[in-house]
Chains A and B, each alone.
Chain A
Amino acid sequence: MRIKVFIGVLLAAFVTGLFFTAAPVKAAEPIKIGAILPMADSTGIDGSRSMQLAVKQINEKGGLLGRQVKLILMDDEGKADKAAAALDKLVTVDNVDVITGGVGSGTTMAMIPGMKKYGKVVVWAGAASSKVEQAMEGQDWFFHIHGWDYQQQAAFDKGYRELFPTVGGRFEGINYFVAYEEGPFGAGSFKVFKPLAEAAKQNLQGEAFKSAFVGGGDYRAVLRHAKDFKAEMFTWLGYANDAIPIMEQAKEIGFAPAVFAGSPPGWPKDFAKSPLSDGVLFNGYWSESIGKKNKESKAYSEAFSKEFKDSPVTYFGPLCYTNIMIVADAIKRANTLEKAALIKALEATKYASPMGDTYVFGKSKVISHQAYASPKLLQYQKGKQEVVWPFEVATAKMIYPFPAWDKRDKAGWAK
């Protein structure tokens, strides 16, 4: 009898022990952060790698709330339908705690109904279109860490006004030609140029072109129009696919305006290696050269390089790293994943980012949570992206005017 009681007590203790040891296993399930990016695009490649780096660093330091962090990456392939499906999967199958990522405005627009339906906390790295901003009005769970189109263009406009006179050029009253891809991205962005050109008393001319992304690739007609227009500044708004062919065809027809600028969401990886890139001005938020003046940026670049034996080529690298770090910082301070507490913690964010700025959320025109890095003017110089404005973070002086094609060295670099 005693033996039976003894065995019974032992079994009870064993079962109870199992229960108590199993409970911490459940509690130690990782915190799941979902991310949606176009994984094959340079923005998505840099972004996903940087997110993985951030999660690795967080986990090496013990994770969050005593739990490891798990990053679940989904590829939207830059397509609206895939983006919406990726969001559904993250929420309904993976049951993620927070949603991050995002690059394109079009894909973001496709995800907005799902985001509203699920109401998860979203910290969004991309989407510049103010249409997205308008669609997100009144959503307290939406945090945006990218500039809106009108903010960006106004900042770049200011940059041009300040920068050009320092190198002997001018922005007011010039002949300005803008070539834009005929889709929503290009046509929408061009609209922003009009009021700013009027304010600068410029002679603005715009023309649509068919991007290589949708079967185009012959830009000679548009470039000839810009040449005939005697454009002093030329900006093209398109995709990475257009970058090198545009430069090749500009060289081919001998078109070299004083300022040759491009504004794709991400540049092709090998663009800097081509001498055709030398002197091309572009709008952006970051370049590796910022590390010369910013310790967070330097630390990020070194960690990225050590981890992937490569360098990020778009600002979506440090931006997506920032994206994860902002979420992690908020979870840490909220000490819970509960939605209201997490929103409150995110609102109190103050994060020194490798983008070169400290992120603090404030109100934009429409939404209540926006924080973004100060826009910068960058220029390709001898195979590197150099910051030429704002002056306080500039890493090089702007090359002006854009070097004429027949006045370059044999390899094609500016002399």
Chain B
Amino acid sequence: MIMISSIASKFKEKNFLIGLIITIVAIIVVGYYKPAVLIEGLQRSALYAIIALPMALLLGVVDVINLAHGDFMMLGAYFAYFLNVQFGMDPLVAIIPTIAVFFVFGLVVYFLTFKHAIGKTPLNQLLLGFGISYIFTEGITLIATNQPRKLTMDYVSASATIQGFTFGIYEFVYVIAAVVIFTGLQIFLKKTGTGQAAVAVGQNPRGAGIVGINIKWIYVLTFCISIALISAVGPMMGSRYTLFPHVGVAFTLKSFSLVAVGGMGSITGVVFAALILGMGETLVLSSLEYGKWAEIIYFALIIGVIMYRSHQRQVK
């Protein structure tokens, strides 16, 4: 219901409606001619969404820049790998202890580092995040070496066939996770006092403090939730992708651009941005001749949105 009401409110915006119609039509047309694009594009979009949503919470809602975002995911993946190797725990089951452990870890990291950069210039947060990212990747290299590691679970290569078309089903885990995280965040931000307080802190920290919101608590909580969510993506990806210390770096950049494209503070916008990026990349990749241009979608999207927003501001 939350999700529906959120989308319904967006329908009032003319541009959003046009964009949504174009997106749905494009998906139907592509899905008819290229079912692989529809299914794998959806899966890829969901992966982008679950990686970008925790950043949307932290950057978009409470305005904290975490450049080590993807590295927390990497740590979560290594943690799940360790649980599997040492205790035989399935990576998907390992999501639960990962969330708990990394919520606490987020708390430690916050009080040791980010706490001192809140309210300062964005450059402080950028440098801090960069430093933390470096420590995490080099730390893991020291502990686990940069030798690639991969958990081989039978279900990761499970597939289904419909009318002669064979496709993988494991990555629907990302779709389920995206729905759960999106709905959870919507409930948190719109239906809970703490969530609404977080939005208020993001919009005007001083004002929020004046009206009695415990700003410090809000920063701590949102930071820890964001870290717990992004680290939970690690176990899901860890059994699908090969693990190595720098595996998270590329996802930090994509998360930033998705939050920028989706609009600061807009959880729904981030999901749509992920959908456009995932579908766009998969569509381009499906072409044998032009597949290598898939990466350009990411840049085209972010440049296009920045130009559009700039134009909108000038018109106003």
A221 engages B241 (CB within 8 Å): no
Give per-residue flags for B153-177: 1 if the beta carbon is below 8 A from chain A beta carbons, else 0. Answer: 0101111010000111010000000
Q: Contact size class for B?
A: 35 or more
Of A16-24, A103-111, A143-151, A207-215, the one with at least 4 CB within 8 A of chain B: A207-215
A218 engages B250 (CB within 8 Å): no
Tell me if B242 is interfacial: C-beta within 8 Å of chain A.
yes
Tell me if A182 is interfacial: C-beta within 8 Å of chain B.
yes
B40 engages A268 (CB within 8 Å): no
Tell me if A8 is interfacial: C-beta within 8 Å of chain B.
no
Residues in A with CB closer than 8 Å to B292 are 182, 207-208
Tell me if B147 is interfacial: C-beta within 8 Å of chain A.
yes
Complex Cα–Cα for A27 and B247 (A): 49
Pair count A-B, CB < 8 A? 99
User: In this complex, what residue of B is CB-closest to A273?
Assistant: B152
Complex Cα–Cα for A220 and B288 (A): 12
Q: Which of A40, A207, A242, A251 contacts B145 (CB 8 A)?
A: A40
Expressed in whole angstroms, the minimum distance between the Cβ of A236 and any Cβ of chain B is 14
B288 engages A207 (CB within 8 Å): yes
Expressed in whole angstroms, the minimum distance between the Cβ of B161 and any Cβ of chain A is 8
Complex Cα–Cα for A217 and B156 (A): 13
A244 engages B166 (CB within 8 Å): no
B291 engages A274 (CB within 8 Å): no
Give per-residue flags for A189-233: 1 if the beta carbon is below 8 A from chain B beta carbons, else 0. Answer: 000000000000000010110101111011011101100000000
Q: Which of B36, B147, B291 contacts A42 (CB 8 A)?
A: B147
User: In this complex, what residue of A is CB-closest to B282?
Assistant: A221
B244 engages A249 (CB within 8 Å): no
Complex Cα–Cα for A41 and B152 (A): 19
Tell me if B92 is interfacial: C-beta within 8 Å of chain A.
no
The binding surface of chain B is classed by DSSP as: mixed
Q: Contact size class for A?
A: 35 or more
B interface with A by C-beta (< 8 Å): 36, 40, 44, 141, 145-150, 152, 154, 156-159, 161, 166-168, 170, 240-242, 244, 247, 249-251, 282, 285-286, 288, 291-292, 295
A244 engages B242 (CB within 8 Å): yes
Complex Cα–Cα for A113 and B241 (A): 37
Residues in A with CB closer than 8 Å to B250 are 214-215
Residues in A with CB closer than 8 Å to B170 are 252
Give per-residue flags for A231-252: 1 if the beta carbon is below 8 A from chain B beta carbons, else 0. Answer: 0000000011110110111011
Complex Cα–Cα for A215 and B48 (A): 13
Q: Which of A79-129 touch B at CB < 8 Å?
A: none
Tell me if A270 is interfacial: C-beta within 8 Å of chain B.
yes
Please indicate which of the listed interface residues B156, B157, B292 has the most CB atoms of chain A within 10 Å of its own CB.
Answer: B157
User: In this complex, what residue of B is CB-closest to A254?
Assistant: B166
Complex Cα–Cα for A215 and B254 (A): 11
18 contacts between A and B (CB under 8 A): A40-B146, A40-B147, A42-B147, A207-B291, A207-B292, A208-B291, A212-B244, A213-B244, A218-B44, A218-B285, A221-B40, A239-B148, A241-B150, A248-B156, A248-B157, A252-B159, A252-B170, A253-B167
User: In this complex, what residue of A is CB-closest to B239?
Assistant: A248
Residues in A with CB closer than 8 Å to B240 are 217, 245, 248
Tell me if A292 is interfacial: C-beta within 8 Å of chain B.
no
Residues in A with CB closer than 8 Å to B159 are 251-254
Complex Cα–Cα for A222 and B288 (A): 8
Expressed in whole angstroms, the minimum distance between the Cβ of A403 and any Cβ of chain B is 15
Complex Cα–Cα for A218 and B47 (A): 12
A241 engages B244 (CB within 8 Å): yes
Given A41-B146, A42-B147, A207-B291: A270 touches B241 (CB 8 Å cut-off) = no
Given contacts A210-B295, A217-B240, A220-B168, 19 further A-B contacts (CB under 8 A): A40-B145, A41-B146, A77-B146, A78-B146, A207-B291, A215-B247, A217-B241, A220-B36, A221-B285, A221-B291, A225-B291, A245-B242, A248-B157, A251-B159, A252-B159, A252-B170, A253-B168, A268-B150, A412-B154
Complex Cα–Cα for A218 and B291 (A): 12
A270 engages B150 (CB within 8 Å): yes
Residues in B with CB closer than 8 Å to A222 are 291
Tell me if A398 is interfacial: C-beta within 8 Å of chain B.
no
